[in-house]
Amino acid sequence: MNETVLSIAGLTAGYGSGDILQGASLEVRRGDVVGVLGRNGVGKTTLMRTVMGLTPSSAGSITHNGADVTGLDAEERAVRGFGYVPQGRMVFPHMSVEDNLRIGALERGRNWRRLEDMYQRFPRLRERRRQRAGTLSGGEQEMLVIARALVGDPDILLLDEPSEGVQPNIVKDIGALINELNQTGITVLLVEQNVELMQAAARVGYVMEKGRITQALSEADMHDGERLRHVLSL
């Protein structure tokens, strides 16, 4: 079995009163695509923000490649290889597409050649490299934030609902893209409520309900669309 890249145990976090995350635990192994399936409001985004270090945790631990990173802030986690693709995209709207990519590489070794790799993978971004990121379409912005995370050659990619607000045909493209990335060895943690994307991209998964991970989904479970849809209707 492959080594564990990311391990979360009993993670509790929230904003002010009431924890949104109530003791979530999961594991991601190297080279895997792990999906976390849950309805709106169960704490998926808080889970990702807490893993990234943007929302402070009040209990539990986050371990990356065997090292406890719970006490590190987001900057240090990013430098260690957490690549974050937030929900709602968060491009730098007044910066050019190219500058959005450059900032992704800046604190991760300044390997500017990887910009060229990204332009090869996403020719649309090359066409629009001088354009301000805020003027791109939703699908193009999604490509840009994924490319911005990839240009830093992340050790683990955290994808927070990439299907949100993009057209159905682009959701298919995102699924294919995740598979392609996984072929090159990238480890992915994906949270979603889109069953099609989950099935297309994730090999194994978890179910999240009310701030907790309630079941693990095996490879066989992931093929069972009925079961996944049932999870969402709970």
Instruction: Please give the Cα distance from 136 to 133 (Å, whole number).
Output: 6
Should residue 212 be labelled a site residue for other proteins when binding is judged by CB under 8 A?
no
Nearer to other proteins, 82 or 119 (CB): 82
Smallest distance from other proteins to CB 227, Å: 33
Between 8 and 228, name the residue whose CB sits nearer to other proteins: 8
**Between 11 and 195, CB nearer to other proteins:** 11
Give the footprint of other proteins on residues 93-122 (CB under 8 A).
93-95, 99, 102-104, 106-108
Span between the terminal Cα atoms of the chain, in Å: 33
Q: What span, in angstroms and rounded, lies between the C-alpha atoms of 5 and 110?
A: 23
Q: How far is the CB of 119 from other proteins (least distance, A)?
A: 18
Give the β-pairing of 33-37 and 57-64.
unpaired
For position 74 contacting other proteins by CB under 8 A, the verdict is: yes
Strands of 4-14's sheet, edge to edge?
A: 19-29, 4-14, 57-64, 67-68
Nearest distance from C-beta of residue 91 to other proteins, angstroms: 8
Q: In the window 129-158, what residues touch other proteins (CB under 8 A)?
A: 131-132, 135, 148, 152
The region of 36-44, 48-56, 115-123, 187-195 touching other proteins under the rule CB under 8 A is 48-56
Pick the piece of the chain touching other proteins (CB under 8 A) from 92-100, 167-175, 183-191, 194-202: 92-100
73 binds other proteins (CB under 8 A): yes
Q: Is 127 among the residues that bind other proteins (CB under 8 A)?
A: no
What string of DSSP letters covers 164-225?
A: TTS-HHHHHHHHHHHHHHHHTT-EEEEEES-HHHHHHH-SEEEEEETTEEEEEE-HHHHH-H
Rounded distance between C-alpha atoms, residue 98 and residue 104, angstroms: 10
- The closest of 201, 162, 171, 166 to 45, measured between CA atoms, is 162
Residue 37 tokens read as: 């399936």
Number of residues that bind other proteins (CB under 8 A): 29
Residues lying near other proteins in the complex (CB under 8 A) are found at 52-54, 73-75, 78-79, 82, 84, 86, 90-95, 99, 102-104, 106-108, 131-132, 135, 148, 152
